[in-house]
């Protein structure tokens, strides 16, 4: 099976990413008690920062002295950014590499349709992204043990994990679309990672000035922003619809393009 072959190819890198991300999460949460003990002095320090910088890193909406505030500013940012990079790397190689590695002839000689190829590769992407997010959730649960008396709001935490998964899925779908019509994996990979980095900075820079604030709407990171999820205890339905729509259109586009593509073997 194609999915089994792809799983064997990707499981080592998935394990490495899971270990690195989990280690960072646990380490960050282990130092939270120090921030909580020095909450007042830390808030005085952050008040000296320019307003634009505090808005950029959500310090005006979340507090590093609270568990979920610290999680949203430090940990969630790590999960969303690193997870999005992993998703882009994984999906950008899925279809284009068959031509780049000259294995397309072998693959298409098997009794499978191009649609089945796309679906099985997509299923592998979903499995790997789910596994990475499950590892992040488990590592967070371990890290929360350092929080002592600070309680974890289960619903809010679940919404943050769901939002991260949705964000990773969106970037994976965009990279998958690129992979469907590009032949060189190096170019596909560079563009996919570039999309993640550029849209991340769109989200950061949008808080610097009202004139560039509309940039945030072009960034998937805006639609999974931690502050409204934590403060309002909800994930905006419109934001979910936007990300799911982008993912669905990208996946359908990849399917249609790859089905009609003149594949060089």
| Digit-coded pLDDT (tens) for 80-106 | 999 999 999 999 988 776 655 555 555
Q: Give residue 243's pLDDT band: very low, low, confident or very high (50, 70, 90).
A: very high
Q: What is the mean pLDDT of the chain?
A: 85
Distance set, CA 44 to CA 50, 56, 231 (Å): 13, 18, 21
- Can you give the pLDDT at residue 49? 57
Could you give the CA distance from residue 216 to residue 103 in angstroms, rounded to a whole number?
40
Q: Higher confidence at residue 3 or residue 136?
A: 136
Reply yes or no on whether the pLDDT at 46 is more than 70.
no
Note the pLDDT tens digit of each residue in 174-201.
999 998 887 777 788 899 999 999 999 9
- Can you give the pLDDT at residue 18? 97
Reply yes or no on whether the pLDDT at 255 is more than 80.
yes
Contact 25, 139 (CB under 8 A): yes
3-state helix, strand, coil in the chain (%, to 5): 80, 0, 20
Contact 265, 102 (CB under 8 A): yes
Close Cβ partners of 240 (under 8 Å, ≥ 6 residues apart): 166, 223
Break the chain into its structural domains and give their ranges.
2-33+75-260
């Amino acid at each position: 099976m194609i999915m089994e072959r792809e799983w064997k190819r990707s499981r080592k890198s998935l394990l490495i990413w899971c270990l690195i991300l989990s280690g960072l999460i646990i380490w960050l949460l282990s130092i939270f008690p120090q921030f909580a003990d020095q909450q007042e002095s830390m808030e005085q320090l952050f008040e000296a920062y320019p307003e634009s910088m505090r808005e950029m890193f959500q310090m005006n909406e979340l507090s590093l002295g609270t568990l979920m505030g610290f999680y949203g500013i430090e940990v969630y940012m790590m999960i969303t950014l690193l997870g999005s990079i992993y998703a882009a790397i994984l999906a950008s190689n899925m279809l284009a590499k068959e031509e780049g590695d000259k294995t397309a002839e072998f693959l298409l000689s098997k009794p499978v349709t191009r649609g089945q190829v796309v679906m099985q590769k997509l299923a592998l992407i979903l499995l790997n992204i789910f596994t990475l997010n499950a590892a992040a959730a488990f590592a967070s649960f371990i890290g929360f043990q350092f929080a002592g008396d600070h309680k974890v709001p289960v619903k809010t935490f679940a919404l943050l994990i769901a939002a991260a998964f949705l964000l990773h899925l969106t970037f994976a779908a965009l990279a998958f679309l690129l992979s469907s019509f590009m032949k060189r994996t190096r170019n596909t990979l560079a563009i996919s990672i570039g999309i993640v980095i550029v849209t991340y900075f769109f989200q950061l820079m949008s808080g610097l000035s009202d004139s560039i604030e509309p940039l945030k709407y072009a960034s998937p990171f805006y639609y999974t922003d931690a502050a409204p999820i934590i403060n309002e205890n909800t994930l905006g339905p419109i934001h979910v619809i936007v990300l799911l729509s982008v993912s669905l259109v990208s996946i359908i586009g990849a399917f249609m393009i790859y089905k009609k593509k003149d594949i060089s073997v």
